[in-house]
A and B are shown apart, each in its own frame.
Chain A
């Protein structure tokens, strides 16, 4: 190679432009599924942890990472799955949490539920279902503005 390979910091920046396939307002880096980026000799190794073991987005996430990095000229690429430590909502970035809130999804707060309604800020809330439109979310409703909303559940 005539050029120095892109630094891991630069690659993290590229990965931060890839939207989560199900919640496109946050990036894969915000989601916390990318656990490591490193060069092993000439091969770029990306370590990924799945959010939920059956989440259908996992395959799309891998494909999007691969497509993006190939477009950036990375030729030797290996994606590794890591199960432990298991993905937790603690891995979500602050930037991601704020983006969720703006998008109308209450960010993870405690196991008991969201802090406030993402629309009006009321704390007068009720749970309507433990599962929502994707494995990572639950359905809640605001008793003040009466709007239903998704809660990014805490695990």
Chain B
């Protein structure tokens, strides 16, 4: 794949992950079980949206067609989104939301650390900024997964059910394609496959402490990174993009 096209694809993947997950997490605002968790979820969503701004702004620059981060976020349709299927999964209960967050945070924390070494200075700088936030997120979501997994019978049962339901969406994080190969060869981004062992080490340790059983099957749903999404993304975009679609160019 041509390098600039691969770079644009990669930046959309990074930015769309944080955008869609940030939107999902923001759906909790005002609904969390206790106020501290409500605040924590809203702050996490805010970090993710801030990171989105950085990734998509650079994507627009790399693309060179004059599209801003807002244009990319609000004016693309489902098939142009490149996020993992994992992040568009509906929230489910609080434990399910935190478990999804944990699976993502563990991955994001690892990839951002690798990206701080990117040969593309712009990517290294965004990663340096975002890595501090991701480190904080993974600390919190790991702790919550342990607390709920190794909690009451009810919380344990719910966390195990969430893990079983979300596990088929894990594999997509580690499936590279031609664009990833191009960027890895140029020293810009790591191969997704190469992140798996560090991810496994962190996740296994947390699942152990949480007394949760790692599912056996590594069957993986895929497609999000290429624009083939589940039905859920359309509903997210309908909500998120409504204003710019109905009132183009509306600003604060």
Contact = CB atoms under 8 A, between A and B. Distances in A.
A40 B55 CA distance: 29
A93 B130 CA distance: 23
B47 A130 contact: no
B124 A53 contact: no
B124 A54 contact: no
A54 B50 contact: yes
Interface string A68-98: 0000000000000001111110000000000
Interface string A45-57: 0000010111110
B49 A54 contact: yes
B51 interface: yes
Contacts of B36: 128-129, 131, 139
Contact of A83 (B22, B40, B125): B125
Interface residues of A, number: 23
A53 B133 contact: yes
A55 B131 CA distance: 15
A132 interface: yes
Contacts of A134: 43
B50 A53 contact: yes
A120 interface: no
A155 interface: yes
B54 interface: yes
Contacts of B47: 52-54, 135
A61 to B, nearest CB: 14
A56 B105 CA distance: 22
A133 interface: yes
Given A53-B129, A53-B133, A130-B40, A84 B51 contact: no
The 6 lowest CB-CB distance pairs between A and B, nearest first, are A54-B50, A53-B50, A129-B36, A54-B46, A131-B40, A84-B125
8 contacts: A50-B129, A52-B46, A53-B53, A54-B22, A83-B128, A86-B131, A130-B139, A131-B44
Interface of B: 22, 36-37, 39-40, 43-51, 53-54, 124-126, 128-133, 136, 139-140, 143
Interface of A: 50, 52-56, 83-88, 128-135, 139, 153, 155
